[in-house]
Amino acid sequence: DAGITQSPRHKVTETGTPVTLRCHQTENHRYMYWYRQDPGHGLRLIHYSYGVKDTDKGEVSDGYSVSRSKTEDFLLTLESATSSQTSVYFCAIRKDRGLMDEQYFGPGTRLTVT
C-alpha cells in the first residue's frame, strides 16, 4: 500500500467551516496527489505536489488549497466548506522510477458537508 495514510477517515462538518485533510506517506516519494471521487464523475484531480513547497492545480481546484512543508505530508484545506464539496477524497503518491509511473492510493476520506 506504499505506506499511505489519510486522516480523518470520516468527517461531517457544517457549511462555512474550514476543513483540513491530511495525507501521510512513509517512503519519501516526490509526487503526491489529491483527488475527489463522485458518482458520475469518477476521480478528478484537485491539486498535486512535485516536491516540498511545489504544488500545482488540477481540474477542480476552486475552493481548495494545499500545502506541503515536509516530504511526507500533503495537506488539503477547504477554507469554507460547501455542500458541493461533499465527496470521497483520495490521496495518492507516484513512485519515482521514471516519467510514466503508476500511482498508489490511500484508503480515502469520506467528507460530508451539511
Partner 1 sequence: SQKIEQNSEALNIQEGKTATLTCNYTNYSPAYLQWYRQDPGRGPVFLLLIRENEKEKRKERLKVTFDTTLKQSLFHITASQPADSATYLCAPEGGNYNTDKLIFGTGTRLQVFP
Interface positions with partner 1 (CB under 8 A):
31, 33, 35, 40-45, 48, 50, 56, 58, 90, 92, 99-100, 102-108
Residue (80 or 112) nearer to partner 1, CB: 112
Q: Three-class SS of residue 83?
A: helix
Cβ 14 to partner 1, closest distance in Å? 25
Cβ 15 to partner 1, closest distance in Å? 26
Nearest CA among 84, 45, 86 for reference residue 66: 45
Residue with cell 477524497: 89
**CA 39 – CA 53 distance, rounded (Å):** 32
Cβ 78 to partner 1, closest distance in Å? 20
